Chain A
Amino acid sequence: MNSSATDIHNEATDITGNAKKRYTAGVLKYRQMGYWQPDYEPVATDTICLFRITPQEGVDPVEAAAAVAGESSTATWTVVWTDRLTACDSYRAKAYKVEPVPGIPGQYFAWVAYDIILFEEGSIANITASLIGNVFSFKPLKAARLEDIRMPVALIKTFKGPPTGLVVERERLDKFGRPLLGATTKPKLGLSGRNYGRVIYEGLKGGLDFMKDDENINSQPFMHWRDRFLYVMDAVNKASAATGEVKGSYLNVTGATMEDIYERAEFAKELGSVVIMLDLVIGWSAIQSMANWARKHDMIVHMHRAGHGTYTRQKNHGVSFRVMAKWLRLAGVDHLHTGTAVGKLEGDPMTVQGYYNVCRDSYTKQDLPRGLFFDQDWADMKKVMPVASGGIHAGQMHQLIDLFGDDVILQFGGGTIGHPAGIQAGAVANRVALECIVKARNEGRDIKNEGPEILQKAAQSCTPLKQALDTWKDVSFNYASTDTSDFATTPSVA
């Protein structure tokens, strides 16, 4: 390398305007190669990502941002002449803004824009391979997190989205104007198919709309999947006859191979189930395949976000769940676990509300306290029904309905099956709590503050509710959340 080339490679600014300089063999700074364009104004067809980056000591944040843009699009570590065979300006992602994260030294927000030509139509696998592919292992960054994403309508329209959607789901189930109620069958492991079906029957007959397999119920030695499906569907139909309502139970069809998954889904359909369940761990392509299958067979798809905490929970590294929720809405799921805010699992209330908005909005507005950095036009894409599940009970009904409204499935597993008077009584307690809070809210009562009083009043004529309130009155999980907004102090739920 001669001395003049060394000078070129040390220049601080973008040199893409000078092709001779730009393509001299050697190593350039990312910001010199066109990945840092502070004057760039994103266009309507761009995808925009907001990354939270933690550069290594001594790494300039602008260079780090440019590196993120580079490594998530066309860059390799050195200059390659073959770039010049391409319209390479289009393929380069452009970092265009870097700001320090308020109150957290060493972390920066970096905005990066991607041209629409970078992505295959209708493929989340392709989008994720770029945006959260190599870049997250890039050495000059200590950590990186994809905080939020704005996808253009032109890209949104290449996806079919939820196979059913929450509006049509309600029409099929004939259930309107209130949250749906569910419960996860417990214990998670060890029940025989016959014992398992007992729990389903009691819960549904008692007043729940749905029962649910747990994420790690597949086809273990204690219960073969076909056995589970057969007993569960007997319970579902029996409960439907006993109540006059449409009932369902999420049959988890997750399996080792796509062939297994299809086989299980086909059997669920043959038995007349209205819903199947998938675990997030099956992967994007499998999810999109099953969304296609579900569209063809009038099936609701319940998505359990098993595994997401490994990359969504820590604030400095990974992918925010709001991004996962956006991708899952595009990939095509009808139900999505999105947190409870008040239960046993991670989730600051406003941040969790942000996930709910992403699932249910027609147009999501920027809302920094809820962690939403961008406006997102959903282009009439069907809506996902969020699911609140994990460590919640009837005594929190007013908080849950106040936080999440009607379009949500509230799942009380322990809070149904652990009822002192039995599973049916647990279901009755939850359903009565739900209906009395919805009724009171519609009547104009302030449920957030008067909730406990409304529940106590309803409990006077409903022993199961009284027992539930007494049993779980002191249970709450008030731990600080790790994933909170950087833009407002968020109230905790009392």
Chain B
Amino acid sequence: MMTNPTGKITQGQFSFLPELTDAEIRLQIDYGLGKSYAWSIEYTDDPHPRNTYWEMFGMPMFDLQDAAGVMMELASCRKTFPGHYIRLMAFDSTRNVESIVMSFIVNRPEHEPGFGLLRQEVGGRSMRYTVHGYASDKPEGSRY
């Protein structure tokens, strides 16, 4: 159990709110589709804050117009990786943006042990800091 006020990892747009229901997730997908974003599903069992590249559950759904399609993919991802972190990401290809414009977590492991902070004393009073996931010492796939 993490000690921050939510008790969980707070990445993404909505981690401080109650977990989104499927109906609520769908509304967010619709919002993105309305802006011509492409949705993508990613999962990981290494949610380190600097772990940029979660695994892609298929490619971004560029040509998809209907939120139902994304929800189907999400259901499939949840079934395959029930104990992983799963996030939805929206990509905007507009010139001068060309990046992710929405990102929120839609699946979490039952227990989130979180991270420890390793301090290495160096010269003077300086420290080198390492954020270390308690679960990440176990091999991939058996962390949660």
Q: Cβ of B96 and Cβ of A240 under 8 Å apart?
A: no
A171-B100, A442-B27 are known contacts. Are A436 and B129 too (CB-CB below 8 A)? no
Q: Scan residues 19-37 of chain B and give those whose CB is less than 8 A from a CB of chain A.
A: 20, 24, 27-28, 31
Q: Cβ of B129 and Cβ of A233 under 8 Å apart?
A: yes
Q: Which applies to chain A's interface (DSSP): helix, strand, loop or mixed?
A: helix
**A237 CB contact (under 8 Å) in B89, B117, B125:** B117
**A432 CB contact (under 8 Å) in B16, B98, B102:** B16
A244-B11, A428-B5 are known contacts. Are A170 and B100 too (CB-CB below 8 A)? yes
State whether the Cβ of A234 lies closer than 8 Å to any Cβ in chain B: yes
A176-B101, A177-B102, A207-B16 are known contacts. Are A243 and B10 too (CB-CB below 8 A)? yes
Neighbouring A residues of B93 by C-beta, 8 Å: none
Q: Give bound CA distance, A298 to B100, whole Å.
A: 20
Bitwise interface map of B from 91 to 107 toward A, beta carbon under 8 Å scored 1, else 0: 00001111111111000
Neighbouring A residues of B28 by C-beta, 8 Å: 439, 442-443
Q: Give bound CA distance, A156 to B73, whole Å.
A: 45
Neighbouring A residues of B9 by C-beta, 8 Å: 243-245
State whether the Cβ of B14 lies closer than 8 Å to any Cβ in chain A: yes
Q: Scan residues 101-121 of chain B and give those whose CB is less than 8 A from a CB of chain A.
A: 101-104, 114-117
Count of chain B residues with Cβ under 8 Å from any Cβ of A? 47
A170-B100, A431-B16, A432-B17 are known contacts. Are A242 and B125 too (CB-CB below 8 A)? no
State whether the Cβ of A79 lies closer than 8 Å to any Cβ in chain B: no
| Min CB–CB distance A156 → chain B (angstroms) | 14
Closest residue on chain B to residue A461 by CB atoms: B18
Which of the candidate stretches B47-55, B58-66, B76-84 sits at the interface with the other chain? B47-55
Q: Give bound CA distance, A383 to B47, whole Å.
A: 29
State whether the Cβ of B127 lies closer than 8 Å to any Cβ in chain A: yes
Neighbouring B residues of A272 by C-beta, 8 Å: 128-129
Q: Cβ of B131 and Cβ of A435 under 8 Å apart?
A: no
Neighbouring B residues of A380 by C-beta, 8 Å: 95-96
**A246 CB contact (under 8 Å) in B50, B100, B117:** B50
Q: Give bound CA distance, A121 to B78, whole Å.
A: 55
State whether the Cβ of B90 lies closer than 8 Å to any Cβ in chain A: yes
Closest residue on chain A to residue B97 by CB atoms: A167
Q: Cβ of B13 and Cβ of A178 under 8 Å apart?
A: yes
Number of CB contacts from chain A to chain B under 8 A: 126
Q: Cβ of A439 and Cβ of B17 under 8 Å apart?
A: yes
Neighbouring A residues of B101 by C-beta, 8 Å: 176-177
Q: Scan residues 416-472 of chain A and give those whose CB is less than 8 A from a CB of chain B.
A: 424-425, 427-428, 431-432, 435-436, 438-439, 442-444, 458, 461, 464
State whether the Cβ of A219 lies closer than 8 Å to any Cβ in chain B: no
A241-B116, A439-B14, A439-B28 are known contacts. Are A174 and B2 too (CB-CB below 8 A)? no
Neighbouring A residues of B95 by C-beta, 8 Å: 362, 380
Q: Give bound CA distance, A242 to B5, whole Å.
A: 10
A167-B98, A241-B117, A244-B11 are known contacts. Are A206 and B49 too (CB-CB below 8 A)? no
Neighbouring A residues of B104 by C-beta, 8 Å: 177
Neighbouring B residues of A241 by C-beta, 8 Å: 114-117, 131-132
Q: Cβ of B131 and Cβ of A443 under 8 Å apart?
A: no
Neighbouring B residues of A427 by C-beta, 8 Å: 5
Q: Cβ of A242 and Cβ of B114 under 8 Å apart?
A: yes
Q: Give bound CA distance, A333 to B140, whole Å.
A: 41
State whether the Cβ of A230 lies closer than 8 Å to any Cβ in chain B: yes
Q: Give bound CA distance, A461 to B9, whole Å.
A: 19
| Min CB–CB distance B50 → chain A (angstroms) | 7
Q: Give bound CA distance, A174 to B101, whole Å.
A: 10
Neighbouring A residues of B103 by C-beta, 8 Å: 174, 176-177
Q: Cβ of B17 and Cβ of A270 under 8 Å apart?
A: no
Q: Cβ of B49 and Cβ of A444 under 8 Å apart?
A: no
**A176 CB contact (under 8 Å) in B16, B100, B126, B132:** B100
Q: Cβ of A206 and Cβ of B125 under 8 Å apart?
A: no
Q: Scan residues 163-189 of chain A and give those whose CB is less than 8 A from a CB of chain B.
A: 167, 170-171, 174, 176-178
Q: Cβ of A244 and Cβ of B16 under 8 Å apart?
A: no
Q: Cβ of A243 and Cβ of B129 under 8 Å apart?
A: no
State whether the Cβ of A271 lies closer than 8 Å to any Cβ in chain B: yes
Closest residue on chain B to residue A430 by CB atoms: B16
State whether the Cβ of A160 lies closer than 8 Å to any Cβ in chain B: no
Q: Give bound CA distance, A244 to B102, whole Å.
A: 18
**A234 CB contact (under 8 Å) in B97, B127, B132:** B127
Q: Cβ of A243 and Cβ of B126 under 8 Å apart?
A: no
| Min CB–CB distance B130 → chain A (angstroms) | 9
A171-B100, A176-B103, A234-B127 are known contacts. Are A435 and B11 too (CB-CB below 8 A)? no
Q: Scan residues 255-271 of chain A and give those whose CB is less than 8 A from a CB of chain B.
A: 270-271
State whether the Cβ of A238 lies closer than 8 Å to any Cβ in chain B: yes
**B126 CB contact (under 8 Å) in A170, A205, A230:** A230
Bitwise interface map of A from 151 to 167 toward B, beta carbon under 8 Å scored 1, else 0: 00000000000000001
| Min CB–CB distance B100 → chain A (angstroms) | 5
Most A CB contacts (10 A, CB to CB) among B16, B18, B126 go to B16
For this complex, 9 residue pairs linking A to B, each with C-beta atoms less than 8 Å apart, are: A170-B99, A176-B13, A176-B100, A205-B4, A241-B117, A244-B114, A245-B49, A443-B28, A443-B31
Binding site for B on A (CB under 8 A): 167, 170-171, 174, 176-178, 205-207, 230, 233-234, 237-238, 240-246, 270-272, 362, 380, 383, 424-425, 427-428, 431-432, 435-436, 438-439, 442-444, 458, 461, 464
